[in-house]
Amino acid sequence: MAVYNPKSMYADDFINHEEILETLEYAERNKNNLELIDSLLEKARPKKTAGGVHCAGLTHREASVLLACENPEKIAEMYRLAEEIKLAFYGNRIVMFAPLYLSNYCINGCVYCPYHAKNRHIARKKLTQDEVRAEVIALQDLGHKRLAIEAGEDPKNNPIEYILECLDTIYSVKHKNGAIRRANVNIAATTVDEYRMLKNAGIGTYILFQETYHKNSYLELHPTGPKHDYDYHTEAMDRAMEGGIDDVGLGVLFGLEKYRYEFAGLLMHAEHLEAVHGVGPHTISVPRIKRADDIDPDVFDNGLADPLFEKVIACIRIAVPYTGMIISTRESEKVRARALHLGISQISGASRTSVGGYTEQERPHDTEQFDVSDQRSLDEVVRWLMEMGYIPSFCTACYREGRTGDRFMSLCKSGQILNCCHPNALMTLEEFLVDYASEDTRRVGMELIDRELHKIPNEKVRTLAAQHISDIRSSNRRDFRF
């Protein structure tokens, strides 16, 4: 029997089934232990230090107690704490991105994904480099600067050489004042050598969703194809980091397995990365299974209702205070609005989950990976965020200045957000307002920027940021960054 060991390089050791079961039993026994719950909330609360702000976070077992808690007053306190933590380390910034689907050819048999190999009626498509270029121009015309690259697993149609060529094309497109400054990559688990190639191609974060941490369920949900290998998939982040990629993104597909099991496994994976590599995940995503071409989410009986989903988000934020959290357009405007108060720091906008979807006038559905709930334009999403008091950020400065991995985390932990990320967010928002926004959005945004400039504590930084914003407004000068 495998023994739980977060420092082990073997999946069965660091995502240990018996440890998760014991954790869930412990959480169930203590879900009404208000003294313990109070102590955990106090432990997780941000504390001011000489070096900035410090958050202790929680272990997977401690956080599982909070998730199991059913006391309404304590749950409300958790939600307030989650927002306090998010504001302490990320401020009121919300990072914007869009997915770009390159190909839906796939040889896996994943039963929850319409790209599975046995789906004979979905239209299969792979973008040519000219089509990639056209998609990038369409995304730049919306105002996007950051993409998440998506492709099915198919060594023949989507080899690493194809992904690298697409990345080169994406970064090469300079259209009007547009440029993609960061391309994150979500492709199948691969080798150390191929991760090294991705690193050398200048990717941002390598993203790979576990789908489920329950090994038996995983094997049943992935009956055929290379993704069937649970260990190879689960150990992928270690190979990515060995290949030099220091920003990795975790996630599970909530609804495939019981949420408390997934929650514990997700945090154990984060603890493993911290224990082995000295830095946890750069991001954690929280997708829920959604309807798609031949996929009925009602077939899966572990779905999360909105209140439970909110609770999961809040507890993740409390447990991993420094990690970026992502919610996509899978979720509705209402759900996303609530999630922003519970720790989410990144959202997608105007997403198309079909291959070649951005160049189409009407949203195509024949190659979609899942239904998009929030179908608003990027301009509408940006204005919506600003009207709620958030700063939509198109910033990629940390990645481009080499502040990744532990260097980003040290910046985050030092509380330097207001002197670095905050002005960078304002400058990239100004770019969006000048180059892409509607008149109403521009008006709301410029008022927001004028207010937010005064929050920058360092006078020199504040003065320089104001000058750069003035330059953006009055010229075609772009890409200022601290």
Lowest mean pLDDT among 10-14, 97-101, 292-296: 292-296
For residue 65, what are the contacts with CB-CB under 8 A and spacing of at least 6?
26, 27, 30, 31, 33, 36, 37, 40
300 within some domain: yes
Mean pLDDT, rounded, for 100-126: 91
Residue 432: which of 96, 124, 186 has the closest Cα? 96
Both 364 and 421 in a single domain? Answer: no
Both 345 and 464 in a single domain? Answer: no
Range of the domain at 245: 88-375
Both 427 and 371 in a single domain? Answer: no
Q: How many other C-beta atoms are found inside a 10 Å radius of the C-beta of residue 174?
A: 12
Does residue 427 surpass a pLDDT of 90? yes
Q: Predicted confidence band at 118 (pLDDT cuts at 50, 70, 90)?
A: confident
406 within some domain: no
Residue 296: per-residue pLDDT: 65
SS3 248: strand
**For the CA atoms of the chain, what is the radius of gyration?**
22
Both 228 and 334 in a single domain? Answer: yes
Higher local confidence (pLDDT), 400 or 232 = 232
Does residue 56 surpass a pLDDT of 80? yes
76 within some domain: no
Task: Calculate the alpha carbon distances from 4 to 18, 29, 50, 57, 271 in Å.
Answer: 8, 21, 36, 20, 12
Residue 191: per-residue pLDDT: 98
468 within some domain: yes
Residue 294: per-residue pLDDT: 57
Both 111 and 251 in a single domain? Answer: yes
Both 447 and 335 in a single domain? Answer: no
Does residue 89 surpass a pLDDT of 70? yes
Strand ranges, E, within 152-301: 174-175, 178-179, 182-186, 206-207, 248-251, 283-285
Residue 371: per-residue pLDDT: 66
Both 203 and 253 in a single domain? Answer: yes
Both 368 and 425 in a single domain? Answer: no
Residue 50: per-residue pLDDT: 78
408 within some domain: no
- Provide the domain count of the chain: 2
Q: Which domain CATH number covers 338?
A: 3.20.20.70
Boundary residue ending a domain (345, 375, 405)? 375
Mean pLDDT, rounded, for 39-61: 92
Boundary residue ending a domain (375, 408, 441)? 375
CB 169 within 8 A of CB 100: no
Does residue 263 surpass a pLDDT of 60? yes
**DSSP of 457-468, one letter per residue?**
--HHHHHHHHHH
Mean residue pLDDT of the chain comes to: 93
388 within some domain: no
410 within some domain: no
Boundary residue ending a domain (375, 402, 429)? 375
